Amino acid sequence: MSGTTGKRWLVAGLGALVLLVAVGLILWLVVFRDTATEVAGEEVGGSTLVTGGGQPGDFGLYRYATTGYETTDALAGSRHDYPAETFITIQPGGCGTLVRWQALEERWDEWDYCPDGSLAGRRTFHEWFQIANLDLWACSPPVPTRGEPGAELTGACAREETGNATAAQDSLRFEVIGYENLTVAAAAVETLHVRLTGTGTGGTESIRTYDTWLLPGTYLIVRQTLELTSNTQSRVGLVHAEEQYEISLISLQPGS
């Protein structure tokens, strides 16, 4: 083989390698492309949204000023920053009332409350790199969440085995901190401050702390903060995730 021919083969080989790497990169970006999609208020609940009498805590859609994010180190890692406004719906269903926080198309939580305020279960949804993950948690018996200031309430929920999710346990501890005044739309509002500490064991080791300020006698969240860290064993190894947010009610009236 002459030197010129060898150089041509070398150039061709390098060109093929560059093309292969480029195709691989494009496939990676397409297959594992991650998104964080904002949701418009009119899209939350859609035509099936049940509305009540329009009083604070009635069925309907509520808007929240929001700061926060979630992160994962899976694959190349990614972060979802939450939009300046997110939404909560209060709807009939489940054991009695379903409270759902919608941050993004790729991120929402739903809590299932019984008429006495106890938690019957919850659903948590995350989507990373176009891979959806819905966790279903059942609390049997339902976990009490309400009480007088100073009360401490405990219970546990179990995650159903769905898809790649293995059985897991979530230990819950509610502390009723007390009554506190917050401001909503320039008006002073009395709220009940409740702190939830959740510890997850099983396929996912996690700890999270919710501080929630509720409109007394309702399921309406006036303010809520969350700090969460988790580690999950997966087919690609140990995956670490974090989430932090703060939401504050913009108006006491649903739909406003």
The candidate with the shortest Cα–Cα distance to 233, out of 136, 163, 166, 138, is 166
Res 26: pLDDT: 44
Six-digit token pair at 152? 């401490």
Mean pLDDT value across the chain: 89
How far is residue 125 from each of residues 17, 110, 122, measured CA to CA in Å? 40, 9, 10
Residue percentage of the chain with pLDDT more than 70: 85
Kindly tell me the burial class for residue 73, based on how many C-beta atoms sit within 10 Å of its own C-beta (0-12, 13-18, 19 or more): middle
Residue 32 above 80 pLDDT?
A: no
The candidate with the shortest Cα–Cα distance to 48, out of 94, 93, 2, is 93
Res 47: pLDDT: 83
Residue 162 above 70 pLDDT?
A: no
Res 23: pLDDT: 41
Q: What are phi and psi of 71, to 5 degrees?
A: -135, 155
Contact 202, 169 (CB under 8 A): yes
Res 164: pLDDT: 56
What does the alpha-carbon distance between residue 21 and residue 228 come to, in Å, rounded to a whole number?
37
pLDDT tens digits, 198-240: 999 987 899 999 999 999 999 999 999 999 999 988 776 799 9
pTM: 0.86
- Residue range 58-69: mean pLDDT, rounded: 98
The candidate with the shortest Cα–Cα distance to 133, out of 143, 142, 145, 123, is 123
Res 28: pLDDT: 43
Contact 176, 157 (CB under 8 A): no
What does the alpha-carbon distance between residue 118 and residue 1 come to, in Å, rounded to a whole number?
81
